Chains A and B, each alone.
Chain A
């Protein structure tokens, strides 16, 4: 804080004293963590409206419009089925289509949220520089947009699962907590990449490769039993891979006979909850610590 000799002639106070007397705050100061959380909650209407607007805007130039929300995951599943189901003729897994699409849609939720999140600060500089709102609204909204996309994919997925002959069971209800845990995990990861992406645009170029590596390590396209051939430390690492955990939870809930890497279901839920907590809280705190830097430069 500067201590200047300059004194207001009328009041006999220095600028700093004058500011303190009238309760002025230093411009651009970061609020406390609790105050920040409170403000973020107060902006929930904005977050919802923004997430919705992004969803609408992303299809506004397409002739088929919102139908792409369902068509995109369907086409995606068709392409991967062609390669891994037909060309490479996967025989090991019963009901491979359902196995593949479950993994694909669950992974895609995280993948598109992270890719959108990397740019959630850098592509909204105009908004950030013009208006003051808790910046965490943007990565949270990016996650929410992808969550809405996921719900459309889930309609497709339920259709595929039913058509391929899986019965409707009570276990399907486990999808709800599983997806919610994954959403919290995603929000945390998105906040981390949003802060990192706000500083360097190099991350945007790198992210697709990171996500693809992550996908191969999550048993999306092939049977998870393949991982058992790995050395033990690597297999253990993959066992705790959060994406594998969320995918296994979904597969367990929807499919009757499916290979799982984690045998203990309790452990699966505990790991899923731990990842959601760690990423959610850690990501939020990490993002908050950079709050006053967004939009500068």
Chain B
């Protein structure tokens, strides 16, 4: 944490330490263009669809979105980086590119190990009990069955879903959205990740859970991982991240210590 502040202020002091800083994510001039379906609109009649099939042209209601337009940065081991910006600025897109779920059209993204993306949409099997979902999620992350049996009570304890009765043995479809999100975060946070990408997941829990999860993010980081946090809640970025990248319309507007970046971002947002 301290190291990073030093590099941004005084390069000469940190020069010998540079060998200690191991990059975990290197993003090199990445461009992401994805295609979205506009949904029903003009030219969606069966006849038009058949003509497209014959002529092999793409549907007219598909639009290309240039979401990330040349982003370059390096993240190092032990860093927690906040990503802020207005809606549609490309924050989530760049996370998905780092996770390898969206291809970059130009440039490259290099990562150490396999980054895990933790979003609020990470659904497991809703017909199964919370307990079985924990076991399944842990196995899906590649844990050994013995470890899973040992970790399951800890994970359920951490998620706090049993605070109001024995919810762990009930199917997940009976959970409130906050409870389900808490359980999902707890499952993903149970494993040590080289790179953990969190997309708005911390915003869902109540205050007590948010405190615990922020603590967990700090632990994950100390366990030599890198954590990315996308959030619109500037307070949770301020509490967990010491470095922040501000994206605006697919470009990096600012990259530096959280306090500086958030101050500039707030000035920008208030002006709008």
Residues on A facing B (Cβ under 8 Å): 1-2, 4, 6, 8-11, 14-16, 18-19, 22-29, 42-43, 45-46, 49-50, 53-54, 56-58, 60-61, 126-127, 129-133, 292, 295-297
A253 to B149, CA, bound (A): 42
* Structural contact, B144 and A45, CB atoms closer than 8 A: yes
Residues on B facing A (Cβ under 8 Å): 7, 11, 14-15, 18, 22-29, 34, 72, 74, 96-103, 106-112, 114-119, 121-125, 127-128, 132, 135-137, 139-142, 144-145, 171, 184, 188
What residues of B have a CB within 8 angstroms of the CB of A1 in the complex?
108
Which of A9, A15, A126 has the most C-beta atoms of chain B within 10 angstroms of its own C-beta?
A: A15
A242–chain B nearest beta-carbon distance, Å: 30
* Structural contact, B127 and A60, CB atoms closer than 8 A: yes
CB within 8 A of B128: which of A14, A15, A57?
A57
- Our count of residue pairs bridging A and B at CB distance below 8 angstroms stands at 149
A118–chain B nearest beta-carbon distance, Å: 19
Query: Which residue of chain A has its CB nearest to the CB of B112?
Result: A24
* Structural contact, B128 and A56, CB atoms closer than 8 A: yes
A42 to B145, CA, bound (A): 11
A26 to B140, CA, bound (A): 22
What residues of B have a CB within 8 angstroms of the CB of A23 in the complex?
112
B85–chain A nearest beta-carbon distance, Å: 21
* Structural contact, A133 and B111, CB atoms closer than 8 A: no
* Structural contact, A10 and B26, CB atoms closer than 8 A: no
What residues of A have a CB within 8 angstroms of the CB of B27 in the complex?
15
B97–chain A nearest beta-carbon distance, Å: 7
What residues of B have a CB within 8 angstroms of the CB of A29 in the complex?
100
CB within 8 A of A131: which of B15, B28, B140?
B140
A252 to B125, CA, bound (A): 40
* Structural contact, B122 and A10, CB atoms closer than 8 A: no
* Structural contact, A129 and B28, CB atoms closer than 8 A: no
What residues of B have a CB within 8 angstroms of the CB of A9 in the complex?
11
B35–chain A nearest beta-carbon distance, Å: 8
A-B contact pairs, 16 of them (CB 8 A): A2-B29, A4-B29, A15-B26, A15-B28, A15-B72, A16-B28, A19-B26, A19-B110, A22-B112, A26-B111, A27-B110, A50-B139, A53-B136, A131-B140, A296-B102, A296-B103
Quick one: given A43-B142, A132-B116, are A53 and B110 in contact (CB under 8 Å)?
no
* Structural contact, B132 and A53, CB atoms closer than 8 A: yes
A227 to B98, CA, bound (A): 56
* Structural contact, B128 and A10, CB atoms closer than 8 A: no
A4 to B136, CA, bound (A): 43
B90–chain A nearest beta-carbon distance, Å: 16
A181 to B138, CA, bound (A): 31
B226–chain A nearest beta-carbon distance, Å: 12
